Structure 1
Amino acid sequence: MPSLAARTEPHVAVDTGTELNDVHSRLNPTRVGAVIQPAGVAEAMEAVRASAKADEPLALMGARHAMGGQQFLSGGRVLDLGALDRVTGFDDDRGLVTVEAGIRWPALLAWLAAHPGNTHGWTIRQKQTGADDFSLGGALASNIHGRGLAFAPFVDDVESLALIDGNGKRVRANRRENPDLFALVAGGYGLFGAVVEITLRLVPRSTLQREVRMTRATRLMADFDVAIAAGCTYGDFQFTVDAASDDFLDLGILSCYRPVAGTPDAAPRRALDTRGFSRLLALAHVDPGRAFSEYAAFYLATDGQRYASDEQQAGVYLGDYHAGIDACLGHAGSEMITELYVPRARLADFLAAAADSLRRTRARVVYGTVRLVERDIDSVLAWAREPWACVVFNLHVRHDAAGLAAAAESFRALIDLALARGGSYYLTYHRWATREQVEAAHPRFAEFLRAKREVDPAGRWCSDWYRHHCRLFGEEPA
């Protein structure tokens, strides 16, 4: 487990001629020139200075969950910061913890739970749900959010950061010191420096009671408002994904979490284990109606269960689940995620239009959920430009030319539906949006590219994601 103790740092490891891919979609096989794995911050700084001396760009890699190519650089060098995984500071009075950027959520939560100096019971406020093995550096780079009902994205939880600039120098940034750099780095996809340290604001650990009910998209925002007024702090809505049903994207399970006195339920309690989750996921590919019915029955049976506020954000992730599904479907495939944002008053209208669009493009929806997010006031490339309703779709994608073309059509159609309602989409997951869609959804994107050239004129930080968007906007990479 990471600790505050110093460690002896071995020489940096370099793996040459490696093919990398993202963990979830497996749609980004990328042959890179080398993967550089520094064991500590000092070695990372030296690696950056060596790249600067050789005038070579670097991409930054953590847990490799992003699907848009942000962490890969075809033919180039990738700086893997996964070994930078220590807790380096803790302030029990102020509720602050400082971690190296490669640390994963489970390690941080374990450290906070075990540390004798954590007398106030501090823990994290939000993380991604659905999986745990994400690095905090990656969470900041894509400015993630969880299922908080009244939270802004992750940058709102970040007190300060330290990064390595293009010359190999350590730089500190927060809302007072280098605020412009701070605003670019949060949600900046690793293009403004290698974040090596993050100071995170914590919250007291609390007990939450799960409140579960079935509802429909037409009533969902009113139901969310009632839950928030009742004191619920987390929640989401998981809709049926059976396109053959009239309930498609309409009927769903609303699960909210309300703070209560007392302690969480002791184990054992009703929960989906890895085997059960894997079975339901496979069933969603071949019989989505039955998969939703079983999933809904399970969730309804958990109504009233009590969880720790950090525990209820944890998720089971099956790293190699698709091999058996491929055999069943008779083709190679995986899931690609997209996330769309719409004004909350237009949510039901958007979901109805999305159902029509997904049927028309014959997309296979494996999973979907609705969450809420508050406005991001910190980031330059802010995706939460106002309080949105967030709609996540996990679409099955065949790994052949026809399958990729069909997926691109489905995703672009969904983006158009969000834009038509004054909404947006998340840049993290795929590169199928058109330039017009990028500009409409992210009106500061051209400014973001200009800032990249100003802050990093040597082009030290690069990626396939960045190169793609430069081509899309007719610009040469920095």
Structure 2
Amino acid sequence: MKLRLTTKRLVLAVFLILGLLVIRPVTFLIYTYIKDPKASKSLRSAVVNDASQLNRTKVDTVVKAHKEINRAITQISDLIKEANASGKKISIAGAQHSMGGHTIYPGGILLDMNSFNYMLLDSTADVLNVGSGALWNQIIPYLDQYGKSVAVMQSNNSFSVGGSISVNCHGWQPNSPPIASTVISLRLINAKGEVLSCSRTENKELFSLVLGGYGLFGVILDVKLRVTDNKIYKAEQFVVKSADYVREFEQWMEKNPTTGLAFGRININPDHFMEEAILSTYVVTDGPVQKLHQKNTFAAIRRTVFRGSANSEYGKNLRWKLEKSSVSLVDGKTFTRNELLNEGVEVFQNTNQNYTDILHEYFIPKAAVPEFIKALQSTIPKYRVDLLNITVRNVMTDKDSYLNYAHQEVFGFVMLFNQKRSKEAEADMQALTRKLITISISLNGAYYLPYRLHATKEQLLKAYPQASAFFELKRKYDPTEAFSNSFYKVYAN
């Protein structure tokens, strides 16, 4: 009788322990899901902002580009001439996902290119002719009809072509330079309102300046982009030591040269901070390529787990455990290239009006990556910031853009922070940013320019020694400074 009673108590104790192990994370995630507010877009037409939500600015006028090509050319040319006559500055916007006022000038004219989004594919030459306002979430389904895909883009589809070229973006495409390498030519409406064709052989200096030129040299009207085939990829993921990431990545690429997409994610949970990484790879495999369709990718669950890690040590530890556990679930699964690229930032973006998500990115030569990771481990915990995510991307030497960040093969460290919307939090973020820029420069690296304007002018010139000449050429091609933004206002004067 006593044995049975003891056994029952033991079983009951086991069930209680298992219940506690399951109930806490489930309750935590349900609470996170319920309290996660819906996104808000309530801004007056004369007040604009960007992805930082910290640049709410009153502008003189918002002008939406016409959809039809010839009418858009006339409209934009006339607008430039009017701006020159009145002394007003023009800033150019697409999806407005930059974070330092790069698409905004106080009291200026904001030219919204989103509606100028036509697409025409030459499937024989694998070239897409596309209006600069087109978003990747419009382009990917269009290309999918023809069995094609984007060659180089960001890891999400929420950005415009013109914006992506203006920041010279890069993504999960390994052994590849930034998007500038896929631009065959573009048409630019310059500071005189003239339409110019720019390529590596025609107006070549201006071409290099516009690629990663942040809209300072004119309006990118349309672009001819090299595209690639949409193929089936098999997923393979590995948990590795973060200090060994580059070695593991290079060994994998050497053995699997048909890897089409690859990136890493470093753990940011307090337990063993930045000691591990998950290397995610997608290798070309055989099989019929299915047409793009909406799959159940558990977006709500993934979002809840991710947002639950904001300002929560428990949430961060839970998330890393779940991400490591999911490695075996993803291994061997197949996806089309377009499926992997066709996801928007809204799956993970902040919607809490008291906070905002802030991006940093640092480009580190591959030999210095372990040292940079070690520096991050010791530096970030000293600052009052909430780190949500670090991904690692391989970027090859950029030979096309004037203001380039990849002077050699580098690994980009993309960091996402959750920041309170307050002066104190902004000051803390500025202090950390300047420290991390100093570290990256000491390692012969650079930082990415589309984010908060926290770098000093001295740091900008050290990371981008060609910046002074870049600004001089800006004044050569645009002597009246018709095109401007907050980035130029801060660093060019």
TM-score normalised per structure 1? 0.88
Match of 2:186, SS? Answer: strand
What SS class does the counterpart of residue 79 from structure 1 fall into? strand
Question: Do structure 1's residue 78 and structure 2's residue 110 form an aligned pair?
Answer: yes
Quickly say closer, same or farther: Cα 1:266–1:177, change in 2 above 3 A: closer
- Give, in whole Å, the separation in 2 of the partners of 1:255 and 1:334: 27
Q: CA deviation at 1:403?
A: 0.5
Change (3 A) 1:44 1:269: closer
Which stretch of structure 1 is more off in the superposition, 285-294 or 140-149? 285-294
In structure 2, distance between residues paired with 1:166 and 1:142: 20
Structure with greater proportional helix content: 2
Partner of 2:337: 309
State the Cα distance separating 1:68 from its structure 2 match: 1.5
Shift of 1:264: 5.3
Conservation of the 8 A alpha-carbon contact between 1:370 and 1:390: yes
Deviations 1:23-42 (A, max 9, x none): 3x211111111111121423
Equivalent residue number for residue 5 of structure 1: none
The answer as to whether partners of 2:303 and 2:347 remain within 8 angstroms in 1 is no
Name stretches of at least 5 consecutive residues in structure 2 with no aligned partner.
1-42
Q: What amino acid sits opposite 2:122 in the alignment?
A: D
Residues 5-35 of structure 1 show CA distances to partners (whole Å, capped at 9, x for unaligned) of xxxxxxxxxx997111113x21111111111
Output the CA distance in 2 between the equivalents of 1:265 and 1:288.
36
> Which residue pairs with 1:329 in the alignment?
none
Answer yes or no: is 1:27 the counterpart of 2:54.
Answer: yes
Shift in Å, 1:271: 6.2
1:60 aligns with 2:88: no
Residue of 432, 440, 464 corresponding to 1:418:
440
Matched, 1:394 2:416: yes
Of 168, 183, 187 in structure 1, the residue corresponding to residue 208 of structure 2 is 183
Instruction: Label 1:444 to 1:110 Cα distance change in 2 as closer, same or farther (>3 A).
Output: same
Letter in structure 2 aligned against 1:69: G
The amino acid of 1:249's aligned partner reads: M
Distance 1:320 1:22, change over 3 A: farther
CA offset digits 1:112-161 (Å, max 9, x no partner): 223xxx4xx332112111x3121100000000001111000000010000
Q: Distance in 2 between matches of 1:390 and 1:323?
A: 26
Q: Name the counterpart of 2:319.
A: 291
Instruction: Identify which of 369, 391, 396 aligns with 1:374.
Output: 396
Residue 225 of structure 1: aligned partner: 250
Larger Rg over CA atoms: 2
Q: Assess, with a 3 A threshold, how the Cα gap between structure 1 residues 269 and 453 changes in structure 2: closer, same or farther.
A: closer
Aligned position for 1:9: none
State the one-letter code of the partner of 2:401.
S
Report the count of equivalent residues.
Answer: 441
- The alignment partner of 1:144 has SS state of coil
Q: Answer yes or no: is the 8 Å Cα contact 2:180–2:211 preserved in 1.
A: yes
Displacement of 1:265 after TM fit? 7.9
Q: Give, as a single letter, the amino acid of the residue that structure 2 aligns with 1:124.
A: V
Partner deviation per Cα, 1:78-116 (whole Å, 9 max, x = no partner): 1111110111x33222111101100011211222223xx
Seen in structure 2, the aligned counterparts of structure 1 residues 293 and 193 have a Cα distance that, compared at 3 Å, is same
CA RMSD, 1 decimal: 2.1
> What amino acid maps onto 1:98 in structure 2?
N
**Map of 1:103 onto structure 2:** 134
Q: CA deviation at 1:408?
A: 0.7
CA distance in structure 2 between the partners assigned to 1:123 and 1:30 by the alignment:
36
2:267: which partner in 1?
240
SS in 2 for 1:371: strand
* Residue pair 1:280, 1:295 contacting (<8 A) in 2 also: no
**Secondary structure, counterpart of 2:50 in structure 1:** coil
Alignment of 1:125 onto 2:151 = yes
How far 1:456 sits from its partner (Å)?
0.4
CA contact (8 A) 1:21 1:28 kept: yes
Give the whole-Å Cα distance in 2 for the aligned partners of 1:467 and 1:36.
21
**Alignment-derived partner of residue 457 in structure 1:** 479
Query: Does the CA-based 8 Å contact 1:274-1:318 persist in structure 2?
Result: no
Of residues 424-433 and 260-269 in structure 1, the stretch that sits farther from structure 2 once superposed is: 260-269
Distance 1:173 1:396, change over 3 A: same
**1:12 equivalent in structure 2:** none
Q: Distance in 2 between matches of 1:240 and 1:127?
A: 24
TM-score, scaled to structure 2: 0.86
Deviation (angstroms), 1:435: 1.6
Secondary structure of the structure 2 residue equivalent to 1:222: helix
Q: What do residues 433-458 of structure 1 show as CA deviations (whole Å, max 9, x unaligned)?
A: 11221111111000111000101001
Residue matched to 1:216: 241
| Distance in 1 (alpha carbons) for counterparts of 2:45 and 2:293 | 47
The question of whether the paired residues in 2 share the 8 Å contact of 1:344 and 1:389 is answered with: yes
Residues 16/169 of structure 1: CA separation in 2 closer, same or farther (3 Å cut): farther
Residue 256 of structure 1 pairs with residue 278 of structure 2: no
Moved more, 371-380 or 224-233: 224-233
> Hey, what does 1:429 align to over in structure 2?
451
Paired letter, 1:217: S
* Aligned residue type for 1:113: D
- Distance 1:211-1:17 versus aligned 2 partners, 3 A rule: closer
Contact 2:80 2:191 in 1 (8 A): yes
Distance 2:322 2:344 in 1: 17
Q: What is the match of residue 45 of structure 1?
A: 77
* Residue identity matched to 1:462: S
Say if 1:96 and 1:200, in contact at 8 Å, map to a contact too. yes
1:192 is matched with which residue?
A: 217
Deviation at 1:266, TM superposition (A): 9.5
Once residues 110 and 268 of structure 1 are traced to their aligned partners in structure 2, the CA distance between those partners, rounded to angstroms, is 9
CA contact (8 A) 2:245 2:277 kept: no
Amino acid at match of 1:279: T
> What is the aligned partner in structure 1 of residue 194 from structure 2?
169
Shift of 1:267: 10
* 1:7 matched residue in structure 2: none
Specify every segment of 5 or more residues in structure 1 that has no aligned partner in the other structure, as ranges: 1-14, 327-331
- Cα deviation for residue 260 of structure 1 reads 1.0
Counterpart amino acid of residue 362 in structure 1: R
Shift in CA distance, 300/409, structure 1 to aligned 2, threshold 3 Å: farther
Partner of 1:318, secondary structure, is: helix
In structure 2, the residue corresponding to 1:403 is in which secondary structure? helix
Tell me the secondary structure at the aligned position of residue 297 of structure 1.
helix
Partner of 2:12: none
User: What is the deviation of 1:236?
Assistant: 0.8
| 1:319 positional shift | 7.4
* Aligned match of 1:300: 328
Task: Give, as a single letter, the amino acid of the residue that structure 2 aligns with 1:466.
Answer: Y
